[in-house]
Amino acid sequence: MGLTTYLIFLTLGIWLANKFLQAIRSPLRSVPGHFLARFTRLWYFKEVWTGTFPWTNIDLHQKHGPVVRIAPNEYSIDDPEAMKILYGHGTAFIKGPWYSASGVPHQANIFSDSNPKSHAVERRKFASLYSMSTLVTMEQAVDHCVDFLVDRLKEFSRSGATFDLQWWLQCFAFDTIGEISVSKRFGFLDAGNDALNIIDGLDNFLLYSARVGVFPETHPVIFKIVNMLGANGFQQVAKFATEQVQSYKKNVEGETFLGKALRIHQEQPQKLSETDILSICMMNVFAGSDTSSISLTSIMWCLLKNQHALAKAVIKEALRIHPATGLPLSRVVPKGGATISGHFFPEGTVVGVNTWVAHYNKQVFGQDAHEFRPERWLVSKEAQQSLDRYWLPFGHGSRTCIGKNIALMEISKVIPHLVRHFDLSLVDPNQEPTTHNVWFVKQQNIRVTAKVRDTTNL
């Protein structure tokens, strides 16, 4: 055996011995989970890579209880009592290192910033633009996109062709973002495809951030390599956003996000900079497109499978059955440690609640938590509050998704139109949609037919 080989094996042996000692000495060594998760993040990486983690995570909790290990220093929590501790306003728990891979290295954005103070400052800059009262002034832009979507579905009705409902709802979501941001559709509903490669770029960015986030220390190097290879989804979307902003500034029109932002910039440049304006456009593409399309698709899928369910609470139940995000909302335990679900977690431990795990908690939502049953929400005010505290389709606390109201406005507009104007039917009622989790859990391949309703007497 040569010296080099000997040194390699020696180094590997020392590393393995160190991992083993850390595992058996850990005060959390009794916490259950996959065996490999005690020693390496590779098990979690594999789960994220394959896109199956939400269901693995649910199974782990149903087997082992409210606290399970997913990596040597990372734990998944399934406990409603933990929500205020981890995500409540003023909490000392900061975002976990996973988020750092969601952007340019060493340049925190409103999503990746782990510092509560700087995040609060940034969020305050934009908060008023994302309020429902502001969005209502852009209602006409959403209506234009709804009308265009209805026209496209009428074409399918006339031709008798089948189509992927998820795809067209994603096209609608992107074009709506274009209308309310820069007063023009991005052209997805017109073309029926991703002619600008923006959906592809966003998907690549999500793949990158979800996987590299498991090993965030590699992000600066891998980001640079991916950028050199011209395969950087983040830069692709950033370039697109920059082009849209520059184009809009040459011809400002309509009540839009950027129109309002530019007026603030002109009146108070210290309050909203040019960089902030670009951030608004990027936030809308990142936060407002996939979140909306996944939510819309979930609602329509549940209605197609349960066509009798047109009463109240359908939307709430559909967003419970298929929330947009599928990885834990990770947080770092602050100085002094914390007790969560009967376990003491030392300072620096990473913990988090996965929305899918929360929404399938049988103690909260009942033994039929896996079933679509809107009636579970039609209960007393006190009982509904108990459900609400573990209903997290848009996150929780100060880090609630900034695009939440965009999604809610789109839902309130497009769902009634589709139900009113069309009889939609699944091509194969027995075929479940394919899903893949890359932070967002996107549905695919929901083939449907459309038949225009006679609305004369409605």
What does the pLDDT profile of the chain (458 residues) look like in tens digits? Answer: 566 555 555 555 555 555 555 555 566 878 999 999 999 999 999 999 999 999 999 999 999 999 999 999 999 999 999 999 999 988 999 999 999 999 889 888 888 888 888 888 888 888 888 889 888 888 999 999 999 999 999 999 999 999 999 999 999 999 999 888 888 888 999 999 988 888 888 899 899 999 999 999 999 999 999 888 877 777 888 888 888 888 877 776 667 888 888 888 888 888 888 888 888 788 788 777 888 999 999 999 999 999 877 667 899 999 999 999 999 999 999 999 999 999 999 999 999 999 999 999 999 999 999 999 999 999 999 999 999 999 999 999 888 888 888 899 999 999 999 999 999 999 999 999 999 888 999 999 999 999 998 765 55
> Which pLDDT score, from 0 to 100, does residue 326 have?
96
Question: Helix (H, G, I), strand (E, B), or coil: what is residue 451?
Answer: strand
pTM equals 0.91
> Which pLDDT score, from 0 to 100, does residue 382 have?
94
The dihedral formed by the CA atoms of 70, 72, 73 and 78, expressed in degrees to the nearest 10: 20
> Which pLDDT score, from 0 to 100, does residue 14 have?
55
> Which pLDDT score, from 0 to 100, does residue 168 have?
97
Backbone angles phi, psi at 68, to 5 degrees: -135, 150
Backbone angles phi, psi at 308, to 5 degrees: -80, -15
**Cα 104 from Cα 99, distance rounded (Å):** 11
Closest CA to 233 of 208, 251, 214, 257: 208
Domain residue extents for the chain: 30-452
> Which pLDDT score, from 0 to 100, does residue 117 have?
85
Write the DSSP assignment of 412-449 as a string of letters.
HHHHHHHHHHEEEEES-TTPPPEEEEESEEEEE--EEE
Q: At what angle do helices 290-305 and 165-182 cross, to 10 degrees?
A: 140
Q: At what angle do helices 233-250 and 198-212 cross, to 10 degrees?
A: 140
**Cα 419 from Cα 309, distance rounded (Å):** 12
> Which pLDDT score, from 0 to 100, does residue 456 have?
54
**Cα 97 from Cα 94, distance rounded (Å):** 9
Dihedral sign, Cα of residue 327, residue 27, residue 31, residue 19: positive
Question: Using an 8 Å Cβ cutoff, are 257 and 244 in contact?
Answer: no
Instruction: Pinpoint the alpha helices (H) of 109-251.
Output: 116-127, 132-136, 139-159, 165-182, 188-191, 198-212, 219-228, 233-250
Q: Is 401 annotated as a binding residue?
A: yes
Question: Helix (H, G, I), strand (E, B), or coil: what is residue 81?
Answer: coil
Q: At what angle do helices 42-50 and 53-64 cross, to 10 degrees?
A: 130
Kind plus residue range of the DSSP H or E element containing 450: strand 447-452
> Which pLDDT score, from 0 to 100, does residue 78 have?
98
> Which pLDDT score, from 0 to 100, does residue 49 have?
96
Question: Using an 8 Å Cβ cutoff, are 450 and 153 in contact?
Answer: yes
CATH 1.10.630.10 for domain 30-452, yes or no, is yes
Helices (H) and strands (E) in the chain, counts: 20, 12
**How many CB atoms neighbour CB 378 within 10 A?**
12
Measure CA of the first residue to CA of the last residue in the chain; give whole Å.
84
